[in-house]
Amino acid sequence: MKRIISILALTTILSSCKDVLEAPTKSSLDESVIFSTPSLAEGAIAGVIQSFAETNSYRGRYLVFYGINTDTEVYNSVKNTTSEQARLSNYNTNVNNSQMNTDNNAWAKFYEGIERANLAIRGLRTYGNVQQNRELAQLLGEMLTLRAVVYSDLLKGWGDVPARFEPLTSETVYLERSDRDVIYKQLLADLEEAAELLAWPNETPATQSVERVNKAFAKGLRARLALAAGGYGQRPDGTVRRSTDPELAPDKMYAIAKKECLDVINSGTARLLGFEEVWKTFAAETNRAGLESLWEIPFSEGRGRVIFDLGVKHDVVSDYTGQNRGGTNGPNPIMYYEYEREDVRRDVTCVPYKWVANASSPKGVKQDPVGLGTWYFGKYRYEWLNRRVTSTNDDGLNWMYMRYADILLMAAEAINELDGPGAAAPYLKMIRDRAYPNHPQKVTEYMSKVTASKQAFFEAIVHERALEFTGEMLRKADLIRWNLLSSKLAEAKTKLQQLENREGKYAQLPSKIYYTLAPDNEKVIIYGLNFGDTDAAGAALGYESNKTWTLSASSDAVKYWDALYLRNPDQQQFWPIWQVFLDTSNGKLSNDGYNF
């Protein structure tokens, strides 16, 4: 794991916006030494990553709350609709949300990281001689890409935001929101430049780890941003629409996505692993480039809350973990039933149990089923780590920001739009082949059906991205750019009610689950989760435990499905700029047009 290294040599130039204005100007001689010397300039990366890892930045806020409450992912305390955490997810927050309305929160830390990147980009352009020095070229490419990462997530979280692409001056302290189209165009240009500067995975020592940016990731991020720029989004005029800028026309954006994804595919520098292998390799923390992970936000062992908030819950400390956490968020309960039984992704992604104390098992714990309304993301598990987490607040697991599967599915989506389903099919088929390794005939039949038309193939992509990426917080942005956020959430609400009432496709599911411990006294065996299971067969098994499998008790003031969203999601696709930042913007910032 990357450790956030000392950056004493850079503290005056990689400082907060406030410090930049108040501190004496650093001499150009010092910057000329720092940004012409690779070993010194590399410290600038640590400065930006530090902003990612701060308590209320990606670590404890953005990764936890952005993207929750869709048709694939939910806040597990969803029925508590008035809590500040729930309101960040149920499309009903306001400018004073106590989880976010602080001056050291994600918004502030994102702009701190941008300022640090801007200073480094200026220094490297001025002093780095990147045309002649590959190490410094790599660093400039990394800085351009890291800045694009932060802007990408600002755009996803807040819509139109201030554009800062130069270091702060007294004249630019206060800026209004910029049209996101301006930012998208700058980022697309930046990433095109970055890809020319960066090395492929494992091409140089700097790109042997997924904790360092490489060419494949920069191209993948450019593809992701192109699809977003050419897609739909809520605008300050109250509409949900595509950009009217001809430079961001959908066909042009699909062409960029196609090119960048095919460049990565044809490079041969990344590959699919077995689906469970992806997540066990990730948990092993080898950080090797050239596999499925393209880039990860690096957290030290004392930072990061990936399993802490998104992993399978442990009620107690044990030989597996020194912290009893996990399960803040989880799969939408309907997701388990979206997978076919033969799809190997199902049981990796959707976990219906937590870990509780058990003195009879070797590690002092056992798996215990929860309820239909509480599932956990099985992609993140303490029990898969090669170490025991000892921190009480953080687990140190990286955040896998992009993987090769996303490249393949973005390629399939873009090529379908430009060239039709026949040309796009091989890339979707690679994902299906992995999902059904023991059932090739099912893949063949499926591909024959979904390639019947461009629309059928697009709908297959929408569904496949749900199956592939549940728990990776990509869904909300996908639904927004497809203009499907409101309709898919309404569909999910209907499915949840049908699941609860055993109607529609859920009509024959048992009303209970039946379970027992395996001979190892640790793993649970559950009957009743699959289509085709029955209460009669479950009762006949003689298992010592059973549980009514429901989402909401009759006494619940708020039913599970009604808590998923409290307002029209298309009227609150983004968070507001928080009050603390409005108050300190000299009147430049507002949430006008966003219905807060």
Overall size of the chain counted in residues = 596
Residue 480 above 60 pLDDT? yes
383 within domain boundaries: no
The confidence band for 432, taking pLDDT boundaries of 50, 70 and 90, is: very high
Q: What is the CATH number of the domain that holds 280?
A: 1.25.40.900
Residue-wise pLDDT tens digits, 400-417: 999 999 999 999 999 999
| Two structure tokens written together for 322 | 């020194």
Residue-wise pLDDT tens digits, 28-60: 558 999 999 999 999 999 999 999 999 899 999
Q: How many CB atoms sit inside 10 A of residue 227's CB?
A: 22
**DSSP structure string for 294-362:** EEEE---TTS--HHHHHS--BSS--SSBSS----SEEE-GGGGGTS-TT-THHHHHEE-EEEEE-TTST
Residue 427 above 60 pLDDT? yes
Strand, coil or helix: what is 482? coil
Torsions phi, psi for 515 (to 5 deg): -150, 160
> Per the structure, how many domains does the chain have?
1
Q: Among residues of the chain, what percentage have pLDDT more than 90?
A: 92
The confidence band for 12, taking pLDDT boundaries of 50, 70 and 90, is: very low
Residue-wise pLDDT tens digits, 189-229: 999 999 999 999 999 999 999 999 999 999 999 999 999 99
Q: 101 to each of 90, 104, 571, 579, 580, how far by Cα in Å?
A: 17, 9, 21, 6, 6
Residue-wise pLDDT tens digits, 109-130: 999 999 999 999 999 999 999 9
84 within domain boundaries: no
Residue 537 above 50 pLDDT? yes
270 within domain boundaries: yes
Mean per-residue pLDDT, 455-466:
98
440 within domain boundaries: yes
Query: Which pLDDT score is estimated for 14?
Result: 42
Residue-wise pLDDT tens digits, 301-329: 889 999 999 999 999 999 999 999 999 99
Query: Which pLDDT score is estimated for 238?
Result: 87
**DSSP structure string for 379-441:** TS-GGGSSS-B--SS-----EEEEEHHHHHHHHHHHHHHHH-HHHHHHHHHHHHHHH-TT-HH
Mean per-residue pLDDT, 571-590:
97
Query: Which pLDDT score is estimated for 596?
Result: 82
Lowest mean pLDDT among 9-13, 106-110, 457-461: 9-13
Mean per-residue pLDDT, 344-349:
98
Query: Which pLDDT score is estimated for 425?
Result: 98
Query: Which pLDDT score is estimated for 30?
Result: 87
Residue-wise pLDDT tens digits, 49-93: 999 999 899 999 999 999 999 999 999 999 999 999 999 999 999
Residue 364 above 70 pLDDT? yes
Mean pLDDT of the residues in the chain = 94
Q: How many CB atoms sit inside 10 A of residue 73's CB?
A: 26
15 within domain boundaries: no
Strand, coil or helix: what is 513? strand
Lowest mean pLDDT among 116-130, 515-529, 550-564: 550-564
Could you tell me the pTM of the whole model?
A: 0.95
Query: Which pLDDT score is estimated for 301?
Result: 85
Residue 554 above 90 pLDDT? no
Residue 333 above 80 pLDDT? yes
422 within domain boundaries: yes
581 within domain boundaries: no
Mean per-residue pLDDT, 264-278:
98
Query: Which pLDDT score is estimated for 29?
Result: 53
Residue-wise pLDDT tens digits, 224-246: 999 999 999 999 998 999 999 99
User: Which residue range forms the structural domain that includes residue 461?
Assistant: 209-235+244-298+402-483
229 within domain boundaries: yes
